[in-house]
Amino acid sequence: MKRKSTIIAYMLAGALMSSCTTNTQKSDKKFEMEEIIGKSSPKIENGIMTPEVLYSFGRVGEVQVSPDKSHIVYEVTYVSIPQNKMNTELFVMKADGSEKKQLTHSNSRENNPRWINGGKKIAFLSDEEGTPQIWTMNPDGSDWEKISDIEGGINGFSFSPDEKKVLFVKNVKTQPTAADRYPDLPEASGRIIDDLMYKHWDQWVTEVPHPFVADFSEGKLQHAKDVLEGEPYESPMLPFGGMEQLAWSPDSKIVAYTCRKKTGKEYALSTNSDIYLYHPETGETINITEGMPGYDTNPQFSPDGKYIAWQSMEREGYESDKNRLFVMDLQSKEKTYVTEKFDYNTDAFIWNADSKTLFLVSCVKAKTQLFMADRTTKEVKPITEGVHDYVSVALGEEGKLIAKRHSMLQPDEIYSVDIASGKAVELSFENKEILDQLTMGKVEERWIKTSDGKQMHTWVIYPPRFDSTQVYPALLYCQGGPQNTVSQFWSYRWNFQMMAANGYIVVAPNRRGVPGFGMEWLEQISGDYGGQNMKDYLSAIDALADEPYVDENRLGCTGASYGGFSVFWLAGNHNKRFKAFYAHAGIFNLEAQYLETEEMWFANWDLGGPFWDKSNPVAQRSYANSPHRFVDKWDTPIMISHGELDYRILASQGMMAFNAAQLLGIPSRLLIYPDENHWITKPQNAILFQREFARWFNQWLKK
């Protein structure tokens, strides 16, 4: 894979250094040690995607519009397969997409950009000196200056509207180590555990994030105060929460934050988070969602400061409940359920400048669009249409939105969207050079009749240069979650174009249990693992197997997480439809999973409760459908991969399944990652995954 020459990288880095008048100069040594990870020019043969090409795409991250709406600063992350590293840089462009400029050029990570000083400065995080700290620079990338020196580093930040204070997040220690308890045992590695939630997703819980408020004076952060001083709770909430879970009021007097004020067993059993209003001057804290038992997250004050909006789920313990949009009048305390008439999730939102309407991101029928909602009439109207997924939205110039979107044909790019017409114009073109060289497979929507007579949305992705007179092997893709839509997503692991480029037709159904098709369709899966949704999978692959261009004798099946569970279950219940399986991070034994996982609210809601509750028919049906109970019917080659840092679904689940296949004499392969979690994040591990994935299916489906 070709990359920019090291000489050019040095020149760019040197140009930036010479233009800065910083308190702390960048180290020349860093640039001498290794090539800067930046935009690459991959070798593309015959216009076909390869794993190396897939990992050469620039990944557009956070997008911030300047106060006067004239410019956009944004992140792009690049990958180096040889260095096995990723690097995030900052870029700026005008709001019409012109005059693009790369602001940073180093192997330190620059992210979390924020416009300050009326757009005359950009504040951002950089780990240039080892830990992430806040720096500022001019909009042309010059005059770097470090303004924070927080021990342990900063996870994220935002300036108050008057820019006299800074809200930032850093980790605080909540659990003593063995050495803390016994100073004479400084090398003791044992963990002393007295309660649940001692591990979460991919880490042992010894510290949690807290929001801090600091004064910003004389160009530095000073007098930082912990908003949750002495409290063992987390805010933002792990593992996915960020700065979107905190907000400043327009008058800079209040901080709204999201917090689930529970620990241990209580935390493990509940999704009840709340929105709190904290007054930095007095320390007063008010819970504005008390009595609302589900997730309440992501507060945003209206521009006029009279209202606050947030996302809310109704039922405690149900993490996939409808994500509703609520607004509160801060004076009267009256709450309005804005999306009451809208049967879909609010995935993201922002206020309009009029403080009366809001713009939403929502997935409807497997495509994610922009909508406008009126807080008083509760009317929700679509703005965009088309085959794509919008994933973020911000206010742009008059009558425009700035939004990020992707599809199965293209990774994230930044667009300007006309509010009146919904017309979108691409601005960033980060990956145009690569996309122009690739031949992508056609993506087709189908509606397939299910075993109970309903219509199921299904994506079919064809190999590049598909020829309907030829016959192809096909892969059934089983979605994870389980409550995740197979929308127009672009993935760097489960990439449908990558699968299609290997010569497969990909069948990706939106089976029972996914959002975007109404609450009835979503909720059917809870308590019915191994039930109707499995029949939906078989309906989808059977429908495509009837096509003359699909070889019904060369069908494969794959998926991760709940999709991995689905693969394990289908391996014992497929009636010889499939010739090969691949499962990643899947649940094999539901009884073991109930006691191995950490978020007990999920297991209680989706499985119906513990396996020892013999009086609970829902739970007993769930455990009766555990894949391990059908392993005696396994008769098909199966490959399994798992990460040993996965505490959501322990690697022992994958190992059990592999061991069972080996003992049964079934051709099988195990790909185990000691240093990966529920996902595969390291570049070379990801390339290994793609190569082994293709090698496995090619071995059994292309004979």
Query: Which residue among 305, 337, 369 closes a domain?
Result: 337
The residue-averaged pLDDT of 37-55 equals 93
The residues pairing with 405 across neighbouring beta strands, listed in sequence order, are 390, 413
Q: How many domains does the chain have?
A: 4
Q: Report how far residue 126's alpha carbon sits from residue 145's, in angstroms, rounded to the nearest whole number.
A: 11
Residues 524 and 488 in one domain: yes
Model pLDDT for residues 667-696, shown as the tens digit of each residue: 999 999 999 999 999 999 999 999 999 999
pLDDT of residue 558: 98
Residues 434 and 522 in one domain: no
Residues 662 and 523 in one domain: yes
The pTM of the full predicted model, rounded to 2 decimals, is: 0.93
Model pLDDT for residues 133-181, shown as the tens digit of each residue: 999 999 999 999 999 999 999 999 999 999 999 999 999 999 999 999 9
CATH number at residue 427: 2.40.128.660
Using the predicted structure, report yes or no on whether residue 28 has a pLDDT greater than 50. no
pLDDT of residue 41: 86
Residue 466 to residues 60, 463, 472, 498, Cα–Cα distance (Å): 30, 5, 9, 14
Please enumerate in sequence order all residues whose Cβ is within 8 A of that of 501, keeping only pairs 6 or more positions apart, or say none: 48, 49, 50, 441, 463, 464
Residues 303 and 376 in one domain: no
pLDDT of residue 32: 41
The residue-averaged pLDDT of 242-254 equals 98
| Residue 523: strand, helix, or coil | helix
Q: Are the beta carbons of 594 and 605 closer than 8 angstroms?
A: no
Catalytic residues: 561, 646, 678
pLDDT of residue 33: 45
Please enumerate in sequence order all residues whose Cβ is within 8 A of that of 259, keeping only pairs 6 or more positions apart, or say none: 228, 233, 234, 235, 237, 273, 274, 276
Using the predicted structure, report yes or no on whether residue 22 has a pLDDT greater than 60. no
Confidence of residue 16 (pLDDT cuts 50, 70, 90): very low
Please enumerate in sequence order all residues whose Cβ is within 8 A of that of 570, keeping only pairs 6 or more positions apart, or say none: 478, 534, 537, 538, 557, 578, 581
How confident is the prediction for the chain on average, in pLDDT? 94
Residues 291 and 262 in one domain: yes
Confidence of residue 40 (pLDDT cuts 50, 70, 90): confident
Residues 614 and 676 in one domain: yes
Question: Which residue, among 143, 38, 148, has the nearest Cα to 89 in the 3D structure?
Answer: 38
Residue 133 to residues 110, 124, 219, 602, Cα–Cα distance (Å): 10, 8, 14, 36
The residue-averaged pLDDT of 637-649 equals 97
Model pLDDT for residues 578-608, shown as the tens digit of each residue: 999 999 999 999 999 999 999 999 999 999 9
| Residue 267: strand, helix, or coil | helix
Residues 602 and 472 in one domain: yes
Q: Report how far residue 438's alpha carbon sits from residue 432's, in angstroms, rounded to the nearest whole number.
A: 10
Q: Report how far residue 355's alpha carbon sits from residue 4's, in angstroms, rounded to the nearest whole number.
A: 47
Model pLDDT for residues 440-460, shown as the tens digit of each residue: 999 999 999 999 999 999 999
Confidence of residue 4 (pLDDT cuts 50, 70, 90): very low
CATH number at residue 210: 2.40.128
Query: Which residue among 438, 466, 482 closes a domain?
Result: 438
CATH number at residue 645: 3.40.50.1820
Q: Are the beta carbons of 271 and 264 closer than 8 angstroms?
A: no
Residues 122 and 175 in one domain: no
Using the predicted structure, report yes or no on whether residue 2 has a pLDDT greater than 60. no
Tokens of 256: 């709204």
Q: Report how far residue 122's alpha carbon sits from residue 74's, in angstroms, rounded to the nearest whole number.
A: 11
**Whole domain around residue 251: which residue ranges?**
148-337
Query: Which residue among 118, 145, 172 closes a domain?
Result: 145
Using the predicted structure, report yes or no on whether residue 27 has a pLDDT greater than 50. no
pLDDT of residue 35: 83
pLDDT of residue 439: 97
Residues 244 and 325 in one domain: yes
Residues 605 and 672 in one domain: yes
Q: Worst-scoring range by mean pLDDT, 63-67, 105-109, 538-542? A: 105-109
Residues 133 and 246 in one domain: no
Rg, the chain, Cα only: 26
pLDDT of residue 81: 96
Q: In what order do the strands lie in the sheet with 85-94?
A: 59-65, 71-80, 85-94, 101-102
Residues 452 and 594 in one domain: yes
pLDDT of residue 322: 97
Tokens of 514: 């996914």
